[in-house]
Amino acid sequence: MVVRSPLFNVMERAARKAARGLIRDFGEVEQLQVSIKGPADFVSTADLRAERTLKAELGKARPDFGFLMEESGATAGRDPRCRWIVDPLDGTTNFLHGIPHFCISIALERDSEIIAGLILDPLRDELFFAERGAGAFINDRRLRVSARKELADAVIGTGIPFRERGNHARYLRLLEAIMAKTAGVRRCGAAALDLAYVAAGRFDGFFEYGLSAWDIAAGLLIVRESGGFVGEIDGGTNVLASGNILAANDPLFPQLSRLLRAAEQAQAD
């Protein structure tokens, strides 16, 4: 039996309440009002409603904490040390197309360090959670990253730029390098769930450029607490600031890092 902390209970209660609305709206996806908030970046009424629910529930439980949220941005709290980093619906495009692969992501940052992270897949009822130094779990089962040691056996998750976002030619070269050395590449459309899948050993690694803090804050802690490694693709350590993330187990992380950096260097040459 896993002993849940008060912090976990706060985060789970908020996520479960928001999830009920997402599940209901997913069943009526064709009737959703959808607006465009940027190039190829959609926001639905379900997204906004989930964010309001999360902000209200987390704010009620911890009224002094600030927020960094995908839709409403940053809100300072009375306690400058702590803030929630929240993505109310990661995988919005999947959601709006009726693809059942999306999640809620909540992280708590204290003194610029992520100390707790939760990722909830409402449709599969899979709840990934970690607190710093206490391990990572899916529902009531302990999480561990995969034990694979060779790239030839590895399945790697990634995100691919679309429309006018990102450098398409660069990604094609990186994908070519990864495809030549691994057992497969998956692009599922929800970075937070990709990181949770690395923690669960479903993916052996994950990389993507230009993500936002709310996409990766919870996932990076869950991967680390499951025994994995997270860093910047170019070897740096400030992943939340850059959004250029690489996550994998101990044997595969340096191999993936070298492969991606070599592909980048070949492109530069």
In the numeric block, which tokens belong to residue 164?
A: 């006018």
CB neighbour list of residue 169: distance below 8 Å, 6 or more residues apart: none
Assess if residue 75 is contained within a domain: yes
pLDDT given at position 231: 96
- Relative orientation angle of helices 45-61 and 6-26, to the nearest 10 degrees: 160
Same domain, yes or no: 17 and 111: yes
In the numeric block, which tokens belong to residue 253?
A: 């992380």
Last residue of a domain, one of 92, 112, 142: 142
Same domain, yes or no: 22 and 123: yes
Our count of domains for the chain comes to: 2
Same domain, yes or no: 20 and 137: yes
In this structure, what CATH number is given to the domain that contains residue 52?
Answer: 3.30.540.10
Assess if residue 180 is contained within a domain: yes
CA dihedral 189, 58, 32, 24 (to 10 degrees): 90
pLDDT given at position 160: 84
Same domain, yes or no: 162 and 262: yes
- Relative orientation angle of helices 213-225 and 191-199, to the nearest 10 degrees: 0
Same domain, yes or no: 167 and 228: yes
Give the tens place of pLDDT for each residue, 116-159.
999 999 999 999 999 999 999 999 899 999 999 999 999 999 99
Owner of token pair 């070519």: 176
Same domain, yes or no: 58 and 127: yes
Same domain, yes or no: 22 and 137: yes
Give the tens place of pLDDT for each residue, 199-219.
999 999 999 999 999 999 999
pLDDT given at position 40: 46
Nearest in space to 235 (alpha carbons), one of 207, 267, 214: 207
Last residue of a domain, one of 114, 142, 170: 142
Q: How confident is the model at residue 97 (pLDDT cuts 50, 70, 90)?
A: confident
Whether 70 has a pLDDT exceeding 90, the answer reads no
Give the tens place of pLDDT for each residue, 224-251.
999 999 999 888 889 999 999 999 999 9
Assess if residue 1 is contained within a domain: no
In this structure, what CATH number is given to the domain that contains residue 231?
Answer: 3.40.190.80
In which domain, by residue range, is 47 found? 6-142
Whether 197 has a pLDDT exceeding 90, the answer reads yes
Assess if residue 64 is contained within a domain: yes
